[in-house]
Structure 1
Amino acid sequence: MNAQCRGTRMIERMTVEVFGNREKAARWLATWNAVLEGAPSALAATRDGRRQVYEELIRIYHGDFA
């Protein structure tokens, strides 16, 4: 398994944890996000994109929506 695949799986697991179930997580990953300026699932294709998505999930988890 390559690093990109591991990173993408980590993002998927974290998204489920943040949103509580796979359905909500999948919807968030597929929906255009103004903060990220794109859909999180598309951004997760690159290392920098995965970092941005990860950081946004941390902010959401901690309630920082600003």
Structure 2
Amino acid sequence: MLVMVRYIDGNYDMVVAHRLEGLIKAGKILEFRRGNGWARIGRDSTRGPETDYEGEERRKGTSSDHPTY
């Protein structure tokens, strides 16, 4: 998927979505387009809050269920 970005210098470009986080971390983009409008780096939330899950493990096939040989 392509995402429209606006670089710090004001130029616009389309980048593949998996490169977006790297561009944000490198400080190369000012904002990017998402479904509900432009997200401004440093002003708008770009990711939900990262929290550690403290509940019971419910996923199937955890490594403890299947020993490796």
TM-score of the superposed pair, with normalisation by structure 2: 0.20
Choose between structure 1 and 2 for higher RCO, CA contacts under 8 A separated by at least 6 residues: 1
Larger proportion of helix = 1
Query: Radius of gyration: which is bigger?
Result: 2
